[in-house]
């Protein structure tokens, strides 16, 4: 409780007066009402991302000669189990975010956090901004219900939640590639070298994630403090408040490490279940091991995080398809499995729209 109060005090001390708080924290709402970029540019961006996703899916279907009857080769019960697996992973992610909100001193019920997590899933898949778009919606809705002085903590909790997920994904990817090195050794030379380069980049990104949790220490180095002080004067102490929040979360290192470990060892294996279930639900197909499917899922999720597609759809599918081809899956399997996984994911996201439709508090900010 003392650490939570310290973060709230730090956030409030970084604000010069009540007017500054109001103007800085209501800026996002003003931006949503009056976009900074012309509507035609947003529409063009939407169409480009949608075109990339649709083009990649079309490429997978055409190059592998996928027909509608090929989807009937998969056991429907395996598809239903894949749906439940994604719902389970999404629910666990809501629990993780809820604990991070509480650690930051944000008063929010689990029911509210769960609802917002589901709404974020919906907008992540159906907004051009991808996963970031879902985070913006979550932050915007919860910020309208949070008293002045705590809105920064709401946004930062989402940022830390994303960092935990990203760090866990990078660890999971590197770990599964290391465990499955014998399988990777049998890949074609191009696929093998591409995966090795990807692992090197992910290793560098993991170092960046770790550095972020120690970024507040830059204020103790006079050279960096000089420039950070200038940035704080321009941004009304945004960097200082972020540094205080980082310091608080680092003091809760057991919570962070616990969630990163749980996400690595539990969340992502559950998220890979749809690939494994659908792969083993194929009529007449040989049994597929779980570890190779886990590696396929981790690689696909990492590729999907790269901007350029519509919510990761398309880039995730082509990565999954190419990995399966390299592992000896048939053209039909390597085309149908990723498309079915995407269809199930979109169905889960679409069902999450119910939480937005029936969220009574989305238009009723708390006092």
Distance CA 321, CA 157 (A): 34
Question: Is 64:331 a contact under the CB 8 Å cutoff?
Answer: yes
Cβ(88)–Cβ(311) under 8 Å? no
Q: Residue 1 pLDDT more than 70?
A: no
Q: How far is it, in rounded angstroms, from Cα 224 to Cα 217?
A: 10
- Residue/partner pairs of 358-367 with CB below 8 Å, 24 or more apart: 359/115, 359/119, 359/141, 361/112, 361/145, 362/141, 365/144, 365/145, 366/145, 366/146, 366/147
**Confidence at residue 106, expressed as pLDDT on a 0 to 100 scale:** 82
Q: Which of 137-141, 236-240, 256-260 has the lowest mean pLDDT?
A: 137-141
pLDDT of residue 292: 93
Integer CA distances (angstroms), 40 to 43, 46, 53, 308, in order: 5, 10, 20, 18
Residue 114 tokens read as 């769960």
Lowest-confidence segment of 15-29, 194-208, 266-280, 320-334 by average pLDDT: 15-29
Tokens matching residue 361: 């508090």
Q: What is the mean pLDDT of residues 23-35?
A: 39
Are 89 and 297 in contact, with CB atoms under 8 Å apart?
no
The residues, ordered by sequence, that sit 6+ positions from 287 with a Cβ below 8 Å of its Cβ are 280
Tell me the pLDDT band of 291, cut-offs 50, 70 and 90: very high
Q: Which of 51, 85, 78, 48 is nearest to 336 (CA)?
A: 78
Looking at residue 28, what DSSP letter applies? H
User: Using CA atoms, how far apart are residues 132 and 127, in angstroms rounded to an integer?
Assistant: 9
pLDDT at 290 over 90: yes
Verdict on whether the full-model pTM lies above 0.85: no
Per the model's pLDDT, the better-predicted residue between 18 and 160 turns out to be: 160
Q: What is the pLDDT of residue 148?
A: 67
Residue 125 has pLDDT above 50, yes or no: yes
Q: What is the largest CA-CA distance in the chain?
A: 69
Burial class of 191 by CB neighbour count within 10 A (0 to 12, 13 to 18, 19+): middle
pLDDT tier at 3, thresholds 50, 70, 90 = very low
> Considering the chain, what is the average pLDDT of its residues?
83
pLDDT surpassing 50 at residue 4? no
Q: Could you tell me which residues are beta bridge partners of residue 310?
A: 313
Tell which residue, 159, 174, 114, 173, has the closest CA to residue 256.
159
- Closest by CA position to 61, among listed 346, 321, 343, 341: 321
């Amino acid at each position: 409780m003392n650490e939570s109060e310290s973060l709230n005090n730090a956030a409030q001390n970084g604000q010069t007066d009540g007017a500054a708080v109001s103007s800085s924290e209501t800026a996002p709402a003003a931006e949503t009402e009056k976009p900074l970029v012309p509507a035609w540019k947003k529409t063009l961006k939407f169409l480009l991302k949608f075109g990339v996703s649709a083009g990649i899916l079309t490429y997978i279907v055409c190059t592998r000669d996928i027909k509608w009857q090929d989807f009937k080769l998969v056991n429907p019960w395996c598809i239903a189990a894949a749906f439940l697996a994604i719902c389970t992973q999404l629910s666990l992610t809501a629990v993780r975010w809820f604990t991070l909100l509480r650690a930051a001193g944000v008063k929010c019920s689990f029911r509210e956090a769960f609802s917002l997590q589901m709404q974020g899933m919906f907008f992540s898949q159906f907004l051009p901004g991808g996963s970031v778009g879902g985070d913006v919606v979550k932050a915007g809705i919860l910020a309208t219900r949070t008293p002045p002085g705590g809105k920064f903590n709401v946004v930062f909790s989402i940022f830390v939640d994303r960092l935990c997920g990203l760090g866990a994904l990078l660890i999971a990817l590197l770990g599964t590639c290391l465990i499955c090195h014998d399988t990777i050794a049998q890949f074609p030379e191009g696929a093998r070298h591409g995966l090795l380069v990807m692992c090197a980049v992910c290793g560098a990104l993991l170092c960046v994630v770790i550095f972020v949790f120690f970024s507040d220490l830059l204020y103790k180095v006079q050279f960096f403090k000089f420039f950070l002080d200038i940035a704080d004067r321009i941004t009304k102490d945004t960097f200082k408040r972020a540094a205080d929040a980082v310091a608080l979360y680092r003091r809760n290192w057991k919570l962070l490490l616990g969630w990163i470990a749980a996400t690595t060892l539990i969340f992502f294996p559950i998220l890979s279940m749809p690939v494994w279930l659908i792969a083993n639900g194929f009529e007449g197909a040989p049994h597929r091991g779980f570890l190779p499917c886990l590696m396929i899922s981790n690689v696909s999720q990492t590729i999907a995080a790269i901007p350029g597609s519509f919510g990761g759809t398309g880039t995730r599918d082509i990565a999954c398809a190419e990995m399966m081809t390299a592992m000896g899956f048939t053209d039909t399997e390597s085309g149908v499995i990723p498309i079915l996984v995407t269809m199930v994911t979109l169905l889960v996201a679409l069902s999450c729209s119910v939480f937005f439709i029936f969220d009574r508090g989305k238009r009723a900010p708390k006092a």
